[in-house]
Structure 1
Amino acid sequence: MSAGMASPAQQASRPWRKRPTRASLSFSLVRAHRSSYWIMCLAVFAATTLSCATLQARQAGLAYDGLHGLEGLNAYHRILTKAYYDLALNTVSLIALVFCLLVTVFLVLSSVSFLVQERRREYGLMRLNGASGKQVVAMALREFSLPLALADAAGCLAGSLLTVPVGMAFIRAMGTTDIDLLFHPRARLWVAAVAFALMMAVCLLGVWLATRRFGAETPLKLMTQPAVKDKKASRLRIVCSLALFLASITVAFMPVDRSEFYDRLLGLIVLLIITVYVAAPLLVPPVASLLGLLAEKTAAGPGLLARQRVRRGRAGATAIALPAMMALTILVSFILIMQAGRMSSVVLSIEPMKADVVASSDDLSQAGRISRTLQGLGREVGTADIYQTQQWVLTDKHGNIQMDTFPQVTWAQARDLADPSHKDTAPKVLQGSLADLGAGKVAISRAYDNQRKPGDTITLIDRHDKRHQVQVVAVIEPPKTTPHVNMDMLTTEDGLPREGENGRLYAFITARDHTQADDIAQQIRDTTHKITALNRQDFIDDYIKTSIKEQQGTPLMIAGGTILALIFLVQSIAIGISERRMQNRRLNQMGVTRGALAWSAAIETTLDVTAGIILSLVAVAITEASVAISFVRDGVGIQHTPIIADIFLPMSLLLLAVAIATTILCTRLTHKNQPTKH
């Protein structure tokens, strides 16, 4: 008996050598595909880091970490500071967290699908050796669980360490306030544990969705080439894709109330995300193959090889296209509806404006100067309404400060309120009389508080925390023709002292001849640099631009979403090249040079990513069309529909550039250790 063979007695004494355990099989598969696992784990680590840091920052915001010194502020600034951090670390961070989880679950699913597709033969051999379908799925879950858990745990640790910079990034993304307070977030162990459980659930869901179908397939079917398609599964995918597309179109264009604008668009985005994922394996290969005609004509051999590969419809093409599709569809559509919602409210609030000129200043003392200037213009001016506004703090009926409201107190001249020529810019009286306004008397807007009625007493708090009791003498409906002036509480010039916060002065001026609007605005500006005067169109344009620029958290969402998409894009490309190294080695041995292989891989990646960009453009176009139709139904001009080309195009070019660079780099690295052709 040779030295290398064991006797029957020795074999009997070591039964584990005869039949490997499930654990040993799982570890052997991990070792066989260790390079791909390293890539996938690094991507999961990065995604978990972002998700955990976002969750930590959100909890820190809920707990108001580091907001010491609030007791030294007045009531207005205390409420404003808490509201500011609530918005920055709750609203924006929640959107960021949902985006991270949405992208992660689909892209982990895509990556795992690609890996398990490449080892169909291995699963087929297991089934031939007696393993049941459930055992194969359980083995796959065990195989992926360990590396994913390690990556998840490391990501939660790194994310907790990044709580401070990520929290500060959220704060900076929201702009600045006039409150000199710093945010000092701290990491919490239980938040890291929740993040770990959440991400593991997302990862294992992706693994189960990717591997469950292999447990139902026959061993012979698993042993076939990966390029052989399952016609039954393809038909089911086609039916599901068509159903989802029709559902998306229905939701996009069905008539709804304006109050349901956001809900409808959010539902549309969810449907589009699912449709993109389900239809991607059907649509990416043909679109990439069609684009490959150009590559085949211009790049000769490498272009032909690239087109042949994309035409096979392999899982790798979909895995590479999906990061671009998901990032552009989810992120750009989210930003679009945020801008659309803001645009809709802005346009509807200013389009009824009757004034030919709007003058404004943050110095309330300029009211007299504006009045004198308008008197000097004489016959050029038709009517002029001058309002002064400030933010105050309100108490409830028990005398406690209301933490979620800042009523705008508006001062108007009593003679203007009674002048019938000012009917377009004067409030409509629903109860009581504006003639009763005076010292300690206010009219309250029904839109602000529909419970108050004439005779009620309200307590307001000024910037010195001094309380002022005022009596309600009228209930009004503010005019829609005076943007920026909400008139939550209206009083006359002697009604209250100017002791609120954020004072602002507005003058809405109509000209006897509309062609004189520019001259009136210029003469007002010439009086002092403290007053801004704009004609109607300039004021509307400036109002819209300012409102969109103030969209909170958009830059942070763009940066975070792009980084996450790039992580998974690089992962998908690297895994694809790693799993294809044996095929490339055979091609090299057949005479294809390494340079041609690298050039072909770059062309193939370009085709895949471009196909994904085109398909995501279709999804975003559906969202754009839905917004445009909603605007028309709501009375907002279609020309106000926000076009997000300035976001979509740079993101697409960045994804494409990174994809090409990653492909070339990874191809060269995989070729380094291969023997050269002689």
Structure 2
Amino acid sequence: MLSLAPRTLRVRWTSFVGGFVALALGVALLTVTGLALASSSDAPERAPERFAAAPVVVRGHDTLRVPTANGVRTEPLAHPRPVPPGTVAALRALGRVTEDRSFPVRVEGGPRDLVGHPWSTAAFAPYALSAGRAPGADGEVVVTGDWAAVGEPLRTPQGTLRVVGTVDGPDVERAVFLTDARAARLSPSSTQMVVDADPAEVRRVVGDRAQVLTGAARRLADAAPDRDREAVTALHALFGTAGGVAAFVSVFVVASTFSFTVAQRRREFGLLRLAGATPGQVRRLVTAEALLVGVLASATGCALGGRAAPRLAAWTVEQGLAPGWFGIGDRVWPYHLAFWTGLLVALCGVVAASWRAGRTRPAEALREASVDRGVLTRGRLVCGTTLLLTAAVTLAVTLLGDPGDLLHRKTYVSRPLLLITAVALLAPALVRPLIRLPARLPCRPRGAGGMLVRENAAASVRRTASVAAPVLVTVALTGSLLGAAATLNGARAAEARERTVADLVVRAEGGLDADALRRLRAVPGTAAVSPTAPTAVYVVEEGVALVRSEARAADPEALAATARIPLTAGRITDLDDDSIVVDEEWERHTVGQRVTVRLGDGTRRSLRIAAVMPVGTGDNGAYVTPANARGASVDRVEVTVARGADRAAVAAGLREAVRSSGGEVLTRGAWLRATAPGTDGTSRAGFLLVLGLALVYAGIALAATLVMATSDRRRELAALRLAGATRGQVLRLVAAESLAVVAVGTVLGLAVTVLDLLGMRAALLLLSAPAVSLPLPWTALGAVSGACALVAVAASVLPAAVALRRGAGDELSVRAAG
């Protein structure tokens, strides 16, 4: 019997093309994501950049270290500590000390990522003058790169600067070098400095009051020294998610395709049984065929994945999803993992089908009925019902225990997969009612064509369910992932609208100094001026976890006058220097309780809980007073206009007050639009990667399944021709059937999407977030449904046209005469 397997593959290759294509593409996806994951760990060891020529760099502590029951836990400080003044004085006695400063520079019409530094630090990169001279006056600067030329004026909020020189050196940033005195006025705070002295003496003087960086450790003084580690973490999350979704889709489609392949051959298995084959022999035949297809498809998939992976890596770098150093390495284990996984998927996908094939009775060889019966087997019913109940129970447990978990990306990416599998397993029971539903409508389609389409699709439940499966995956994934992101963004936007009651908002990315704040408060016509600064607080929860919470520092009276902070207990005006406002996600969140926290600079404080906010969408954070946010710089000021005052005049006064600080004045509506949560270009590219791999695969698998299904209908198409149907009528019938099946898959996908988004909406309501309607991504859903329809029509009509052109009707006539 096993010797029949290669011959069966050779003779009935069209019956296996769907499984081969589905499995090969699935292995290719696994190979691509596996190679990307393996390569994302190969971050380069960066050498010092800005301080490559510096002898010693002394840097204030920028990491919080807290001992817990599970060891020391660390978190970056929101406000790194400066080097103590006494230590600086002692260092000056050892040698020359050069203080470093970094601050944003805004130039009208210039690049957006300009960074200012004192000219004295340029020698430590080192930068060398390529033209012009060093800055000697407050209005003179030296720049890197070719975005500005010597003699060119630069208009900034602080006045006009003139370029007096350009430098060549490491291409690490777009730097603007000012005189040391001007840089000190623009950025009074300095957290690191270069010391020209013996490193051992520097360590002796500094002790544990600051960090002493020498050798390769000097890279920690560069901007974003952890960017490579963060990039690796982001790449692992991105490719891990894409690989998980791709693996699910491939297993799902391969199992469905193999099941359909076996179902197509029930008469063939009946003949084998009639010829004396035992059920075990039939099962071994089917398994051997799957093994042969699995080996060939897995090898093909590995080859395709190896060629596609470098292109994917280049695309992720181009889209900003990966740093410039990212590329595909020469790891071998992703190929082994993908190959053996593909082979295992092929064998697992055919297990249930092989048992069904072994149960084929000899009488099936004589069966001519085209109506599928018993397609929803007991095992399929039990598995589908179990998964559906599992999805419902886990949703209920999460809603009752931790509804905020449903708002995390890893959760709303993975939850739809359970529903998709459950609905797909139960699809045979849903296909016939959905197909025949239009016949029960008042506006039901008339004529024999509609009846044939309906009855053909309803009779061939296995074919309909197998073809609808890729459509179900495509629509459900698109709707669930994009819909979840839109739901969360809509809730966050609604929170911002409810919270913001100020008439005008001043924002300054570089921060506002004390003089600018005094000028703002002095603007005539203002009723309340509320400056807030970003900071963070840290708390040890359950004795083992160091949790960082984003916070804002604000004056409680002014905050209450310009914002409507949602509260479940307490009052915002009760906030003082000895208290904090937290949300319900904190381990302790009862008004009056005291909680031990570390402030943004690492200072330990015991604060009383003055008020409690709901969790909402997770952006509520915490509130402290400015006294508990040393080092925080005001970046936002909310202003209410006094009754009867001219809003335009107040806005003009505010603009003048912050002109020298580069601040921007926005109306409430403009502020909400500017800060509205949305999907930026990088996030869209990430979604495109996660969805695109799965959707392209599902589309190709859909085409392969339809080619396989249509090629097996030659006798059915010939019978229609003999009954008097023209060639065009037969092709239109085939196209209509394909569209009907796509419609079934689309409806099932929409059902999964709605169920999934209803769970997220329930979580938002439990978290006291604003209620939002279900924002189904109709444009994306229409696009993928339309694409599935085009693929389905092309993949069914073209094989049907070939079959008709080859004279299937004559073959049928000969068989009938015989």
Q: When the two structures are superposed, what TM-score results if normalisation uses the length of structure 1?
A: 0.76
Cα distance change on mapping 1:407 and 1:281 into 2, 3 Å? closer
Conserved in 2, the CA contact under 8 Å of 1:54 and 1:166? no
Question: After superposition, where does 1:279-678 map in structure 2 within 5 Å?
Answer: 279-291=426-438, 302-341=449-488, 351-353=498-500, 355-364=502-511, 368-369=515-516, 371-377=518-524, 380-389=525-534, 416=555, 433=578, 471-472=603-604, 475=607, 495-496=630-631, 505-513=635-643, 520=650, 524=654, 530-536=662-668, 538-546=670-678, 551=683, 553-639=686-772, 641-674=774-807
Match of 2:241 in 1: 95
Distance in 2 between residues matched to 1:421 and 1:676, nearest whole Å: 82
Paired with 2:44 and 2:269, the residues of 1 have a C-alpha distance of: 51
Number of equivalences: 614
Counterpart-to-counterpart distance in 1, 2:407 and 2:600: 35
Whether contact under 8 Å (1:103, 1:327) holds in the other structure is no
Question: Relative to 1, partners in 2 of residues 1:101 and 1:408: Cα closer, same or farther, differing over 3 Å?
Answer: closer
Alignment correspondent of 1:119: 265
What percentage of residue pairs aligned between the two structures are identical?
Answer: 19
The structural deviation recorded for 1:357 is: 3.4
Q: Which residue identity is paired with 1:664?
A: V
Q: Secondary structure at the match of 2:721?
A: helix
One-letter code of the match for 2:34?
L
Map of 1:31 onto structure 2? 10
Cα distance in 2 between the residues matched to 1:266 and 1:550: 17
Q: Give me the whole-angstrom Cα distance separating, in 2, the residues matched to 1:175 and 1:515.
A: 48
Counterpart pick for 2:224 among 62, 77, 102: 77
Where structure 2 has 5 or more consecutive residues not aligned to the other structure, the ranges are 50-215, 541-545, 566-570, 589-593, 814-818
Query: Deviation of residue 478 (structure 1)?
Result: 10
Partner of 1:399: none
Question: 1:238 touches 1:282 (CA, 8 Å); kept in 2?
Answer: no
Moved more, 336-345 or 269-278: 336-345
- Change in 2 beyond 3 A, CA 1:491/1:577: same
Check 1:156–1:241 CA distance in 2 against 1; reply closer, same or farther (3 A cut): closer
The answer (yes or no) to whether the contact 2:309–2:328 under 8 Å persists in 1 is yes
User: Deviation of residue 170 (structure 1)?
Assistant: 4.0
Q: Quote the Cα distance in structure 2 between the aligned partners of 1:157 and 1:78.
A: 37
TM-aligned CA deviation for residue 275 of structure 1: 2.4
Partner of 1:109: 255
Residues of 2 paired with 1:249 and 1:454: CA distance?
Answer: 37
Change (3 A) 1:172 1:82: farther
Aligned residues of 1:258 and 1:634 also touching (Cα < 8 A): yes
Displacement of 1:130: 2.9
- CA, structure 1 residues 455+136, in 2 after alignment: closer, same or farther (shift >3 Å)? closer
> Which is further off, 633-642 or 312-321?
633-642
Asked if the contact 1:385–1:507 (Cα under 8 Å) also holds between the matched residues in 2, the reply is yes
Q: In 1, are the aligned partners of 2:575 and 2:625 still within 8 Å (CA)?
A: no
Query: Structure 1: which amino acid aligns with 2:758?
Result: A
Partner of 1:142: 288
1:56 to 11, 35, 38: 35
How far did 1:212 drift? 1.9
Cα distance per residue 1:147-191 (max 9 Å; x no partner): 222111121122123222223434555658xxx743123141111
Residue 204 of structure 1 deviates from its aligned partner by: 1.8
1:655 maps to a residue whose letter is: C
Deviates more, 1:155-164 or 1:536-545: 536-545
Q: Following the alignment from structure 2 to structure 1, what is the Cα–Cα distance between the partners of residues 808 and 45?
A: 59
The secondary structure found in structure 2 opposite 1:670 is: helix
Kindly provide the amino acid, as one letter, of the partner of residue 63 in structure 1.
D
Superposed CA deviations along residues 302-342 of structure 1, whole A, max 9, x for unmatched, are 54433331131342211211111122223422333345456
- Give a deviation string over 1:604-652, Cα, whole Å, max 9, x none: 1001101111122122122232222332222122226543223222211
**SS of alignment partner, residue 3 of structure 2:** helix
- Specify which of 130, 139, 146 is matched with residue 276 of structure 2: 130
| In structure 2, C-alpha distance between the alignment counterparts of 1:659 and 1:68, rounded to whole Å | 54
Which residue in 2 is equivalent to 1:210? 353
Cα distance in 2, alignment partners of residues 320 and 556 from structure 1: 24
Q: Quick check: 2:273–2:360 contact (8 Å CA) kept in 1? A: no
Equivalent position SS for 2:467: helix
Residues in 1 aligned to 2:473 and 2:244: alpha-carbon distance in whole angstroms: 13
Q: 1:657 to 1:489 in 2, by over 3 A?
A: same
TM-score, reference length from structure 2 = 0.64
Q: CA deviation at 1:419?
A: 8.2
SS at match of 2:665: strand
- 1:197 Cα offset (Å): 1.4
Letter paired with 2:276: G
1:12 matched to which residue of 2?
none
- Alpha-carbon shift at residue 574 of structure 1 (Å): 0.8
Task: Report the structure, 1 or 2, having the larger helix content.
Answer: 1
Query: 1:601–1:504: structure 2 CA closer, same or farther, 3 Å change rule?
Result: farther
- In structure 2, which of residues 225, 228, 233 is the aligned counterpart of residue 86 of structure 1? 233
Distance in 1 (alpha carbons) for counterparts of 2:665 and 2:572: 23
Give the residue type in structure 1 aligned to 2:406.
F
Per the TM alignment, residue 241 of structure 1 is displaced from its structure 2 partner at its CA by 5.5
Q: Once the 2 structures are TM-superposed, how far is the Cα of residue 239 of structure 1 from its aligned partner?
A: 7.0
Stretch moving more, 232-241 or 335-344? 232-241
* TM-fit CA distance, 1:477: 6.7
Check 1:120–1:519 CA distance in 2 against 1; reply closer, same or farther (3 A cut). farther
Residue 146 and residue 456 in structure 1: after superposition, are their counterparts in 2 closer, same or farther (change >3 A)? closer
Match status 1:194 vs 2:326: no
Q: Deviations over 1:328-380 (max 9, x none)?
A: 22342233334545655676577445644332121325774464244123xx3
Q: Distance in 2 between matches of 1:114 and 1:57?
A: 33
Distance 1:506 1:241, change over 3 A: same
SS of the residue corresponding to residue 508 of structure 1 reads strand
- Verify the 8 A CA contact 1:594 1:671 in the aligned structure 2: yes
Which amino acid in the other structure matches residue 202 of structure 1?
Answer: V
Q: Provide the C-alpha distance between the structure 2 equivalents of 1:454 and 1:324, rounded to a whole number of angstroms.
A: 52
CA positional deviation for 1:234: 5.6
Is the 1:517–1:535 contact (alpha carbons within 8 Å) kept by the matching residues of 2? Answer: no
Superposed displacement of residue 281, structure 1: 1.5
